[in-house]
Structure 1
């Protein structure tokens, strides 16, 4: 079973080492790239106020958090939920840094020792869209994910949006009919072979407008990489 957890946190500020704490955790489960509804959403009493700048971002007040549990009361349940999964996180170093700090305060191993792997969608997006804005909002706009309900940051809402963004970022994988060792597809169902010789596939030639748009995109990528793109070198050598 391919199990992925899309994870996001909200915190009292930007510095885990400086004493800031997690106040909200939102997790969305994907199995075989499908939403299962088996999500995890928790608020925590951090024992301190949020920095004014952080409060403006998430709007979660000290008063709201007063009756919420401490992180230590939920730590084992969180680790049980996450154990063995691939985590999908946007700007993973931030969230992982805070979770590692919470675990360290409890004398527990860091997050990476409890999960299978951690994938950073910010790093993925930077590779796919060099020189572009790659915030969660920017990716939602670029990939057609509806984020109109995101007036303030919230861990569960952001995890749900990121799940849609991740599926769109990696959608090309769905188009490839690649069989695993057991001869099954991504959904675990057997794949039947198809004789493509019976099809007459048309060749669609790009229009001048499409060629110009393609060249413009290549030029933008070439500029963002300081002229280090491989196709320029190959075209000159040819």
Structure 2
């Protein structure tokens, strides 16, 4: 029985476990399991794969996307630039164990964003500058879309939310929520922006997928903006992980 898993702490509801177990069932993939491994101290991660040769891959979530890199032998180009890992492939040759780290968040975001982009979408605002924003910023750079980072404090971004109030949002047609504001159960919360300035020229993307339509997205839809949540990004990212784990290279 081969093993895959998700490491992080704490681990509550997991999209990954549900998704992969359903995939295995639907596609009649046998002799493989995917489970959750709530690891508080990242030093305990190596005990998982060192003492169990069944493991050949992991997903990584908060708070270990950065700290896990101390165990990685090689980073993919995007993981190196983003400086965060959410997918690990394990290769074994005798007693030697080789870990390669990837960041498939960037792939999932890019592929879900590109079909929505129009010539009018010239500049972006990134709301929040935590770990989730890293892959988003990497992708905007790759797509040559200028951006500003909005954060609660000046030290963490280009603008604070207070300063954003002085800016006309018509100049920033893509607005991406990378913050946890609006996540269930706090569904009555939304990032503090001038929603009355939104129009049909805007594209609002929320990395949150629970609820499916956050207040941020609802307010954008009311103004005629195109809206998108993070669900497809997760699916694309999950499929990319699967491709990486099962690629013979």
TM over 0.5: no
What TM-score does the superposition give when structure 1 sets the normalisation length?
Answer: 0.25
Structure with greater strand percent: 2
The structure with higher relative contact order (CA 8 Å, sep 6+) is: 1
Pick the structure with greater CA Rg: 1
Structure with greater helix percent: 1
What TM-score does the superposition give when structure 2 sets the normalisation length?
Answer: 0.25
